[in-house]
Amino acid sequence: MKPSLLIVAHGSRRSESNDEVRTLTQRVRSISDNRFTAVTCAFLELASPSIPEGLEQLIHDGASHITVLPYFLAAGRHVVEDIPAEVASIQQTHPAIAIEIAPYLGTSATLPELMVEVGSGSSQAG
Amino acid sequence: MKPSLLIVAHGSRRSESNDEVRTLTQRVRSISDNRFTAVTCAFLELASPSIPEGLEQLIHDGASHITVLPYFLAAGRHVVEDIPAEVASIQQTHPAIAIEIAPYLGTSATLPELMVEVGSGSSQAG
């Protein structure tokens, strides 16, 4: 069975920011070419669903293998401690489910190229 | 004159995380193929240099045009309010310098593909 992907973002008090993550999740789902059984998102704090809720929903929907993708750019406390702790607690409750944590997004080797692109196409801000 | 690029990250209490941003900045500099006069980084909080310090250093080194690239994935308060406020204060002190804020990294159209890649190549975590 193909893994399900849970994109984990920080979460914001700005609902537009959380909606942005939800829209991006749909986009990832649409371009992932059936590599995943499901693609959903969850938030570490300030927004719903939480990481446990997101994992439980995927398990409820039949996932036996879940990849957690930390939507973070740097290995701060959230990536190093908080996300693994939340995942570990659900893993204990569901020992038969394989839950993996993918490298956080900031490790991607393609990122510097993306930054040159974004930095070169900037628009006047004031 | 080509613009200088100031990569602005959040900053972390974990020094490894800040060093990661510094290493990434070097990488961006090395692949940017002379598109920028200089490529440096600054931190919104918890690490040095600050955004004003980073901008002042570039101006001191002769930059007349600076692009600020928010190394952020979502348009939370930091991107929408804090970074523009810090930039505006330096802009007021140096009206002759053109300071632009590029779209934050999370707006890149290539990001969903990056996420599929990172999510597909995950390694077992626990």
Is residue B34 within 8 angstroms of chain A, CB to CB?
no
Q: Stretch B55-73: mean pLDDT, rounded?
A: 97
Hey, is the C-beta of B38 within 8 angstroms of any chain A C-beta? no
- B contact test, residue of A105, A113, A123 with most B CBs within 10 A: A105
* Residue of B20, B43, B67, B73 for testing the chain A interface, max A β-carbons within 10 Å: B73
Beta-strand relationship, A4-9 and A39-43:
parallel
Q: What is the pTM of this model?
A: 0.84
Q: Is B15 left (phi over 0), alpha (psi -120 to 50) or beta?
A: alpha
Q: What's the average model confidence in pLDDT over B18-23?
A: 94
Nearest chain B CA: its distance from A52 CA (Å):
16
ipTM score of complex: 0.86
**C-alpha distance from residue B90 to each of A33, B66, B86, B87, B99 (Å):** 46, 12, 7, 5, 9
Digit-coded pLDDT (tens) for A70-117: 999 988 889 999 999 999 999 999 999 999 999 999 988 889 989 998
Place of tokens 């080797």: A109
Does A116 lie at the interface with B, CB-CB under 8 angstroms? yes
Angle at B108 between CA B65 and CA B81, to 5 degrees: 60
Say yes or no for a CB contact (<8 Å) between A125 and B99: yes
Q: How confident is the model at residue A44 (pLDDT cuts 50, 70, 90)?
A: very high
CA distance B54 to chain A (A): 16
Q: Give Cα separations from A23 to A7, A15, A117 (angstroms).
A: 12, 12, 22
What is the rounded distance in angstroms from the CA atom of residue A24 to the CA atom of residue A15? Answer: 14
Band the pLDDT of A124: cuts 50, 70, 90.
very low
What is residue A50's predicted lDDT score, i.e. its pLDDT?
98
Calpha distance A73→A65 (Å, rounded): 24
Peptide bond into B49 cis (omega under 30): yes
